[in-house]
Structure 1
Amino acid sequence: MGKILNLLFCILLSNFIISYAQNCSSYSFTNNAIYATCVSLPVQNSHLYWTYHPTNGTVDIAYRHAGVPASQWVAWALNVDGRGMIGAQALVALPSSNGSLQAYTSSVTGYGTTLQQSSLSFGVPVIRAENSNGDVVIYATLVLPGGRTSFNQVWQSGPVSNGAPSAHAMASENRNSLGTVDFVSGVTGAGGAVGGSLLHRRNTHGVLNAVSWGILMPMGAMVARYLKVFKVAHPAWFYIHVACQATAYGVGVAGWGTGLKLGSDSEGIEYTSHRNIGITLFALGTLQVVFALLLRPKPDHKYRIYWNIYHASVGYAVIALGITNVFKGLDILDPEKKWKHAYIGVLISLGVIAAILEAFTWFIVLTRKKEEKQQVPPGNGAYASNGYGHGHNQEA
C-alpha cells in the first residue's frame, strides 16, 4: 500500500513539474534565446524571463503573454518610485492593421492614459515584439536605474480602438496584475490589487451607495407602508420613515460625491449604464427631498391624494434603480463572491419581512374595516369613510 501511495505521489509531482516547465522554463523562443531565470506570473497567463548582467547593470528580458487575442495590446512595466499604474515605465506591444506588432515605450502619468509613445526614466536600448502561435512576446534590454535590481512590476492587456490602446478591463485579474521582481535573487511576489488609493475610493463609493440606495431606502419605504397601520406606531412611524430616508439620502450624497471624484480621476474609463442610472437616481432622490420639504400638502388638502401617488411612485422607482445600480457596481468592482452573496441575503431578508408584513397588515386593515362597518349606525354611512384606517393613511 505504501509503495502505491509513493508511486501516485511521484506521478502527481512529475505532472506538476512538467506543467510548470511547459508554462515557463521549457518554452522555446523563435530566436532560440535562453534566459537565466523565468517565473510564471500569478494572473493573466503571463511569464517573465530575464538574464541580469551585473557588470553593466543591464537586464535582458522577455515578457510573454500566452493566448492573448491578436487584436489586443499587451504591456509590461516596472514602477521605479511607486506601485501600480501611476508612474509605471511600460513596454508596449500594439497590433497594427496588417497583423504586425509595434513595440515601443510609454511612461504612464495618469489613469486616463492611452499609452502614448514616450521615453522612460531609464534606458531601453533594445525593444521589439512578436506574435508566436497566439503568444505575444516583448523582448527588451533595460538599463536598470540607480544600480537597483528590485522593483514593483505591472502587466496588462486590453482592446485597441482606432489604432490606439484603450482602457483595459477591471476584472479581478486586471486589478491583481502587479507584484515585485528582484533580478538578482529571482524572487517575485504578488502585490495586491492595482490602483492603490483609487481602488480604495471605488470600494468606498460602492459601500456608501449599497448602504444608502440599496438598503436604507427600502427599509424606510417598509416603515412607511407597514408601521402606519398600527395605532400604537402613530405618529412615530412618520418620524422613523423621515429619519431613515434622510440618512439614506445623506449617505447617498457622499456616495455621489465619491463617484464624481472617481470619474475625474479615471478619465477614459467609463461605465455608461452605471453612470446614467446613478444620475437618474440622484436626481429623483433630490426631487423627493425637495418636494417633501416644500410642496407636501396637508393631510386634509384636496390635492393630497395626488401627492401620495407621486411620492409612492417616485419612491419605488428610486428603490428599483438603487438596487439595480448596486448590482451593476458589484459587477464593475468584481469583489469576492461573498460580498455579492451577502447583499443578496440582505435583499431576501427584507423581501421575506415585507411579504409577512404585507399579509399581516392586510389582515389588520380588513378586520378593522369590518369592525367599523358593524359599529356604524344605519343612515350614517358617510361616517365610515372617516374611520381610522382612511384618515391614518392620509398622514403618509
Structure 2
Amino acid sequence: MDETLIDGDLPLSRKSVLPGTGFFYPDEFEEAAEDAAAEEALDGVETAVIADPDADGLACVAILRELYGAAALLPTSPHEIEDSLERVAEYGEEGIRLFVCDLCPDKFEYVDEELDAAVGTASEVRWFDHHQWDDEVAESVREAGADLVVGDSDEECTADVAVRSLDFDVPRHLVELAAVTRDHDLWLREDPRSDDLADFSYWSEPEDYVEVVAEHGADLPEEVLEFLAEKRVEKEALIELAVKRGELKEIGPWTVGVTYGRCSQNEVAEAMREQGADASVIVKPAGSASIRGTDAFERCHEVAGQVNGGGHPKAAGCKPDIYEDMLDYAHHWTTRGATTKRVILEAFRTLEADEEREAEGDERDEESEAEGGADEGEAAAGDDSALEE
C-alpha cells in the first residue's frame, strides 16, 4: 500500500480519522520482525526485560540497567505478553534473569504455558506492576514461579514498584524519574515534566528513550525538548479536532464525554473534563479506546473490563471484540467509531444498572431490619402485657 494514502501530505482532518501505517502492516510480517529482533537482543545477555514501551515501562528498564548493566528489552503491549514470554524461553540463555514490567494479563490462561516455559529457562522471574489484578490471576502467576509485586494503582506507578523492590540504592535521578513518571501515569498533572516524558516515550524509539532518561532522568536535554516542540504542533491540532468531535452523554449520575480520532487521549480527556465530563471515552482509528476518569468517576477499569480491556480506576484501555474483517474497520473509520462508542457507553449503563440494583438491595435490607426490629418490639410488648395481667 502507498503510505502517502495514510500518512502522507493529508489534511489533518482526514489524517486524524485513520490509523497509522503500522496498522496496515500484516501481523505475520510484524511477528517475524519481532522474532528476529528478540533473538538478536537476547543473544548472550544475562538479563531480559519484557516491558510496556510507555514512559512507565521504559523507566523500569532504565532502573534495571543501572543495576544489571546490559539488559535485553522486549517492548510488549498488554496483548502480547505471551509472545514475549515465549521468545525469552526460545531465544534466552539458560539461567537468564527475567523481569516483566508494567503489564497485566487479563486471564492467566492467556500466559500459562508461555510463563511456564520462561520460568523453566530463567534463573528467576520477577514481575512488577501497578494495574488492577484479578486475585486468581495474581495467585496463578505466583504459583507458576514468578515473584509478583503489584503496587497500589492509586499511589504508585510500576517504576515506583521497581525502586522499592530492588535491593540496591537507585540513583537519585532515577528515583526522581519514577516520581515524575507517576505524575503522568496516575494522571496527577502536578509536574510539567511528566507530559514531556509521556510524549517523548510515544514519539521516540524505546531504546532511544531508555538511553536518554538513564543519563538525564526526568530533566530531558534541550535537543529533546526542541524535538517535542516540533512534534506538538501537529499534536495540538489533532487534539483540537478530537475535542470538536466530542459529545457529552448523560448516563445515570455521570456525564460521559465521548469522541473519536488519532490524538493524545489524556489532553482530550482533560478538555472534556473542563466541559463537565465525569469520565471520557476516546475511540481510536485502530479500534481501541482510552477511558479516563475524574474524582467523580473512579471505575474506568470496570468499564474496560466489560469490553476486552482493563487498567486503573481513573485510566483504562480496551479494544472491543467487534471487528471481523476490513469492512468493519471501514465502517469504524467512516462513522467515527460509532459501534465502539455504543458498546462502551453500554458498559457505563451496565454499571449504572448494577448500582441501582445494589441500592435497591440495600434499601430492602434496611426495610427488613426495620420490620424485624418492629416485630421484636411487638413481641416484647406482648410479653410485658402478659406479665402485667
TM-score of the two chains, using structure 1 as the length reference: 0.21
Higher strand proportion (structure 1 or 2): 1
Larger Rg: 1
Higher helix proportion (structure 1 or 2): 2
